[in-house]
Amino acid sequence: MAFQLLNGRELSLTVLTEIAAGVRKLIAAGRRAPHLVAVLVGNDLASETYVAGKMRACEQCGFRSTTLRFGNDVTQAELLAAIAALNADDEVDGFIVQLPLPPHIAEQAVIEAIDPRKDVDGFHPMNVGRLSIGLPCFVGATPLGLITLLDRYGIDTTGKHCVVVGRSNIVGKPTAMLLMQKSNPGNCTVTVCHSATPDLARYTRMADILITAVGQPGLITSSMVSEGVVVLDVGITRQPCATARSGYRLVGDVDFDDVAPHCAAITPVPGGVGPMTIASLMRNTYLAATANPLDQS
Ligand code: GUN
């Protein structure tokens, strides 16, 4: 079967260009540029790379951006004080605290300290709760990126069986919630599988749309999918690679070469969901600065 490649890199550029046009209009109307702050703790290599990518995207959109760095030894009280200052700063529209945090800091306490109106990651319980009952909110960047991919590629989701592999708070749960909502994209019958699911293939074979977010390279093979499935691969694992300039390569949860010939459409890794996540964070930041979803009911 000839499959359609869901090119997240290309689509993300379209989204960033749209946002940049919006920013130019704001500036022309005498408003300031949207401002995103990323809080980065320690020197985790993957987090450094992700934050650098987010700051680069800010530049492409015409946003102001700031990276606020803390050492690995920052105390929770210091971090909470920094968050309180960002909450109070009228020059900051949205901010993120890049995860993971060092083990001595309670991640949930940090997330709950963020003003939900500036929570462009959509991690605060206020945003998660509003998402679950279908109220306007900040939708997490990865779930929003997945929905945008389905929407912009014109993939009809109504009545489809969507199987989500992974139940994380960042991807699996909010994605399942979005796709079951009475909206388009949405209106799916949703099954969520996880590490305690026996015979995973039994479920994945029933999927019209398969979304994997577990970080297990090669987990999904051709014997686990049906002909004509749409596959969105959220897994991003770094594997050492001697021939890559960076010394590593990114691989998804799906054995792409094996699975793709059976798909109607599939995302590559890299260049699929990853760039859409960053573009969606930019979308959320633009919303925070212009039409905050938490002001709407
Ligand atoms: N770590 C991995 N993904 C994310 C994300 O989307 N946001 C934040 N803040 N940290 C992350």
Catalytic residue among 93, 119, 121, 233: 121
Cβ contact 131:262 at 8 Å: no
Question: In this predicted structure, what is the pLDDT of residue 154?
Answer: 98
Of 39, 124, 125, 147, the closest CA to residue 89 belongs to 39
Domain locations in the chain? 31-127, 141-275
Which tens digit of pLDDT belongs to each residue from 256-266? 999 999 999 99
Q: Round to whole Å and give the CA distance between 160 and 207.
A: 8
Tokens of 56: 């680069």
Which tens digit of pLDDT belongs to each residue from 55-79? 999 999 999 999 999 999 999 999 9
* Atom number of ligand 1 nearest to Cα 96: 9
Q: Round to whole Å and give the CA distance between 249 and 144.
A: 25
Pocket of ligand 1 (CB under 6 A): 96-99, 121, 141-142, 170
Is the whole-model pTM more than 0.95?
yes
User: Does the annotation count 216 as an active-site position?
Assistant: no
Q: Round to whole Å and give the CA distance between 118 and 231.
A: 32
Average pLDDT over residues 6-12: 98
At position 179, the amino acid (one-letter code) is L
1 pLDDT above the threshold of 80:
no
Q: Round to whole Å and give the CA distance between 235 and 222.
A: 17
Judge if the upstream peptide bond of residue 270 is cis by omega within 30 degrees of 0.
Answer: yes
Separation of CA 160 and ligand 1 centre (Å) = 29
Fold assignment, 141-275: Rossmann fold (3.40.50)
User: Does the annotation count 239 as an active-site position?
Assistant: no
User: Does the annotation count 182 as an active-site position?
Assistant: no
Fold assignment, 31-127: Rossmann fold (3.40.50)
Question: In this predicted structure, what is the pLDDT of residue 297?
Answer: 84
DSSP at 119: B
Bridge-based pairing of strands 237-240 and 248-251 is antiparallel
Question: In this predicted structure, what is the pLDDT of residue 97?
Answer: 98
Question: In this predicted structure, what is the pLDDT of residue 225?
Answer: 98
Which tens digit of pLDDT belongs to each residue from 181-208? 999 999 999 999 999 999 999 999 999 9
Give helix then strand counts, H and E, for the chain.
10, 11
Question: In this predicted structure, what is the pLDDT of residue 6?
Answer: 98
Q: Round to whole Å and give the CA distance between 76 and 39.
A: 13
- Fold matches, 31-127 and 141-275: yes
DSSP at 249: E
Q: Round to whole Å and give the CA distance between 77 and 237.
A: 32
Question: In this predicted structure, what is the pLDDT of residue 70?
Answer: 98
Average pLDDT over residues 126-141: 98
Which tens digit of pLDDT belongs to each residue from 211-246? 999 999 999 999 999 999 999 999 999 999 999 998
